[in-house]
Amino acid sequence: MANNSDSVLQIENYIDGEFVETARYMDSVNPARGVVWAKVPDSGEEELNRAVSAAKKAFETWSKTSVQERSRCLLKMAELLESQLESFAEIESRDQGKPVSVARNVDIPRAVYNLRVFGTAILHHLEMSSFQEDFFALNYTSRLPVGVAGIICPWNLPMYLLTFKIAPALACGNTVVCKPSEMTSVTAWMLCKLCTEAGVPRGVINMVFGTGHRVGDALVRHPDVRVISFTGSTLTAEKIRLATATQCKKLSLELGGKNAAIIFDDVNLEKCIPTVTRSTFINQGEVCLCTSRIFVQRGVFDEFITKFVKSASTITVGDPDDKDTWMGALISPEHLAKVSGYVNLAKEEGATILTGDEPDRIKLNSKNAKGYFFPPTVITNVSDNSKLMQEEIFGPVVCVVPFTTEDEYGLCASIWSQNVNTVHRVARQLQVGTVWANCWLVRDLHMPFGGLKNSGVGREGLIHSVDLFTEVKTVCVQL
Ligand code: NAD
């Protein structure tokens, strides 16, 4: 249902199986064109309360629905989503600014996969049992759904992350109230249309659109919301922790990163350069796992810099609809200002901008003239304690320096070395949730995902998401 015309699309909340109008709406902008292209509900407490009530009521039935039926609904959603992959990809790109090709090859296929993985995992045995000979006692566990789950997502990977939370929550028998980012709400609304078609009962999935400080805050505070899965910034997570401090909710917080690539002298540069280019600039650098500082051992530093800068400077930035575009637009003018502010700071600090600072770097056609584009930027000669090395920039800007190690954030890191001992030794030392060696973003959904320190609390991933969305009960029976 790609809306190619200039007319503005209006989306609605999805509550208790119905699309419902709201009193207030706000603008959603197409970042590649800088124009309003959708009106999104600016929901508040009233809409939220209705959604939670619907989810609570639906929980009574959904939590007792057979796993086969829950699985069937998720698999049907996956099938429907896959059949509409192209229109979801186009809309994801229009809403977010990423190239359509990225949404087509990464975001939407992964959303389909999320639904399939959790839709099938739940069919398998996830309980434990043991027998204690000395007490002649049988122990077993059973998993119970938690209740109404609150799901809050950021703007960078809208469908990818939303389905990574909805799928396990539903598979485990919970009902959900979701709050996508106010900047990228449209594909979540499209997903609701599939829910009805997939036979998901009313009230099981509810979607309330709006800002974090209004409806997001109301969602996390609601006493009937028993578990919250949040992905977003460290600052918002702090607010959520404070807002929920007096309630015993389950919380999973997947937050920002300041991810490092560590490149040793014995690196295979042929493999490393394209992967590190990708890990740094894909999705305009707007992936929580994107590399934003590169530590290079001195022996290979010059060669790495030359090859990496060459690779970064050949990236095509432009119209997300263009099949040759590799990098699209940043999400908003505010974010563009934030990212360019870091590059200005680098200049003030006397750092060297190796690529990115050429005035003609981005060539745009007239329809994209007001878009929020920023070139792939590589910086060196930066001190370790510069903000550029310490703070999450979340854009296509990377600093390259000779070796050091210090980590404030701990989401992920990548190691580049052909020496297996180096790989394991460094992997063990790094204080991050995920280490990739000689690769990046090779994600197995069975594996736990999450961060340390300011990068988050809790893990998501197959059994880890099941742990989040269930309460495990131990029963001990003496025979
Ligand atoms: P954000 O924290 O500003 O917003 C995330 C979501 O939280 C949005 O839906 C927003 O409306 C909502 N929100 C804002 N204030 C709220 C409040 N007080 N109560 C409840 N909800 C509130 O983050 P963002 O700018 O949308 O996303 C970028 C951030 O997300 C980056 O820091 C990035 O690293 C992080 N991120 C992390 C992961 C991960 O898996 N670790 C993945 C993607 C993005």
Phi/psi at 328 (5° precision): -100, -140
By alpha-carbon position, which residue is closest to atom 26 of ligand 1? 154
pLDDT value for 3: 47
Q: Where are the beta strands (DSSP E) in 6-128?
A: 9-10, 13-15, 18-20, 25-30, 35-41
Task: Tokens for 272, please give them.
Answer: 């490393």
Phi/psi at 159 (5° precision): -75, -35
- Exactly one of 47, 254, 392, 460 is catalytic; which is it? 254
Name the residue type at position 428.
R
Is 179 touching ligand 1 by the criterion CB < 6 Å?
yes
At 2, the pLDDT band (50, 70, 90 cuts) reads: very low
Neighbours of 130 (CB within 10 A): 11
CB 257 within 8 A of CB 411: yes
Least Cα distance to 157 among 194, 88, 108 occurs for 108
pLDDT value for 370: 94
pLDDT value for 187: 98
Instruction: Please state at what angle helix 186-198 crosses helix 158-171, rounded to 10 degrees.
Output: 30
Of the candidate ranges 103-117, 307-321, 344-358, 408-422, the one whose mean pLDDT is the lowest = 408-422
Is 220 touching ligand 1 by the criterion CB < 6 Å?
yes
Residue in the block written with tokens 């300041």: 258
CB 148 within 8 A of CB 226: yes
Distance between CA atoms of residues 128 and 143, nearest Å:
10
Neighbours of 336 (CB within 10 A): 18
- Sign for the pseudo-dihedral over CA of 125, 230, 253, 259: positive
Q: How deeply is 92 buried, as exposed, middle or buried, from its count of CB atoms within 10 A (0-12, 13-18, 19+)? A: buried
Characterise 135 by phi-psi region: left (phi > 0), alpha (psi -120 to 50), beta (else). alpha
How many CA atoms within 13 Å lie on the side-chain side of 126? 23
Is 242 touching ligand 1 by the criterion CB < 6 Å?
no
* Pairing mode of beta strands 9-10, 175-179: unpaired
pLDDT value for 125: 74
Residues, the chain: 479
- One-character DSSP codes across 58-70: HHHHHTTS-HHHH
What would the pLDDT profile of 43-96 be if each residue is shown by its tens digit?
999 999 999 999 999 999 999 999 999 999 999 999 999 999 999 999 999 999
- Sequence-separated (6 or more) residues with CB below 8 Å from residue 204: 55, 58, 62, 73, 170, 175, 176, 195
CB 316 within 8 A of CB 271: no
The three-state secondary structure class of 257 is coil
232 C-alpha to ligand 1 centroid (Å) = 2
> What average pLDDT is seen over the chain?
95
Atom of ligand 1 at shortest range from CA of 219: 20
What would the pLDDT profile of 254-311 be if each residue is shown by its tens digit?
999 999 999 999 999 999 999 999 999 999 999 999 999 999 999 999 999 999 999 9
- Sequence-separated (6 or more) residues with CB below 8 Å from residue 105: none
Of the candidate ranges 4-8, 67-71, 131-135, 443-447, the one whose mean pLDDT is the lowest = 4-8
Distance between CA atoms of residues 192 and 194, nearest Å:
5
Q: Where are the beta strands (DSSP E) in 248-323?
A: 250-254, 259-263, 291-296
The three-state secondary structure class of 53 is helix
At 363, the pLDDT band (50, 70, 90 cuts) reads: confident
CB 392 within 8 A of CB 410: no
Span 22-51, mean pLDDT?
97
Is 97 touching ligand 1 by the criterion CB < 6 Å?
no
Neighbours of 74 (CB within 10 A): 26
263 C-alpha to ligand 1 centroid (Å) = 30
CB 126 within 8 A of CB 140: no
Phi/psi at 140 (5° precision): -150, 160
pLDDT value for 63: 98
460 is annotated as an active-site residue: no
* Pairing mode of beta strands 452-453, 13-15: unpaired
Atom of ligand 1 at shortest range from CA of 179: 9
- Sequence-separated (6 or more) residues with CB below 8 Å from residue 125: none
Span 245-256, mean pLDDT?
96
At 40, the pLDDT band (50, 70, 90 cuts) reads: very high
Q: With 60 as the cut, is the pLDDT of residue 12 above it? A: yes
Span 86-114, mean pLDDT?
98
Q: State the alpha helices, DSSP H only, in 282-371.
A: 298-313, 333-348
Is 43 touching ligand 1 by the criterion CB < 6 Å?
no
What would the pLDDT profile of 403-436 be if each residue is shown by its tens digit?
865 455 678 999 999 999 999 999 999 999 999 9
- One-character DSSP codes across 419-461: -HHHHHHHHHH--SSEEEES-S----TTS-B--EETTEES-BS
